Amino acid sequence: MGEIGEQLVTSIASKLDNDVLSALDNASLIYPVISVTPNDVNNALVKLGEDFDGEKYLFVSPATYAVLRDAKEWVPASEVAAQIVLRGVVGMIYGCYVVVTNKITTTDTAYIVKPGAVALFMKRGTQVESDRNIINKSTTFTADKHYAAYLYDSSKVVKLGAATLTDLELVQTSDIENGKATFRIAGYPTNLSYGWKAYYAQNLTTAVSVAVGDTFDNSTNGTHKAFTVEFEQGVALSATNAKYSQVLYVDATGKIRASGDVAAVTTLA
């Protein structure tokens, strides 16, 4: 086939890789992240539910790989080599074989994939052809492959994807008495992931503007200095009529992930 033919076949294989990743991007199981961390991988595995056990592969960018291999949970490839069945595996973390791919270019994207998640419908394998022009003394090479890559079983893939700020539904549930009232957050505490904390601020003229991924700082001179109290559902917290009460969710790495606020009233309607 020659060097040119081999280059064309390599190009086709690269296109196939892109199409497989595009198929994975259609995953219905999503775990939002700011930047993929070992803790995120561990938590994302819960999305697999009863299908948690068994062979799993984690596809990551080179930058994410650098973060994962520094974790105490990291197992280098040399210690799992006997079990490796996919070329390119560089190690293991939380039971996932880790595969580094340049096709993923950001640290806020990764895929946990179980065998059988993606299927390829092959109509025809790679075919390389050549045609000689005897007048111009040139040879034209072409290569093609007829296939379709699609997400065959969405229950076998979890996408760790860029997070957006979650809007919390904060509701006042009691009248203000002695300067305090109770509040409720829809879904709390089940929507508070492992290692996350909820912080409360009261008597705000306006709600504090935050963005997903902001570093939470409630120190004396910090941006979020008003959020000194940990929120607990049903516990009476300080409140002032016509002033805002606000709750922030902060993840285990100290990044803001959710926010909700409500203007307090003396007497509920």
* Residue 269, in any domain of the structure: no
13: pLDDT strictly greater than 60: no
Q: What is the pLDDT of residues 20-39, one digit of tens each?
A: 777 778 888 889 999 999 99
- Do 172 and 158 fall within a single domain? no
Distance CA 209, CA 27 (A): 31
- Do 51 and 25 fall within a single domain? yes
268: pLDDT strictly greater than 90: yes
Q: What is the pLDDT of residues 92-120, one digit of tens each?
A: 999 998 888 888 889 999 999 888 877 65
DSSP assignment, residue 47? Answer: G
- Do 180 and 143 fall within a single domain? no
Mean of the pLDDT values across residues 10-18?
43
Domain count, the chain: 2
- Do 185 and 153 fall within a single domain? no
Q: Label residue 217 exposed, middle or buried (CB < 10 Å: 0-12, 13-18, 19+).
A: middle
- Do 112 and 158 fall within a single domain? yes
Handedness of CA 240, 243, 247, 253 (dihedral sign): negative
* Residue 64, in any domain of the structure: yes
- Do 149 and 17 fall within a single domain? yes
- Do 186 and 92 fall within a single domain? no
* Residue 42, in any domain of the structure: yes
- For residue 192, give the amino acid letter: L
- Do 58 and 155 fall within a single domain? yes
Spatial contact of 224 and 199, defined as CB atoms under 8 Å apart: yes
User: 86 in helix, strand or coil?
Assistant: coil
- Domain with 231, as residue range(s), is 166-264
Beta bridge partner(s), residue 183: 172
Residue pointed to by tokens 């790989």: 65
Residue pointed to by tokens 């199409």: 19
Mean of the pLDDT values across residues 241-251?
96
Distance CA 183, CA 247 (A): 10
> pTM here?
0.65
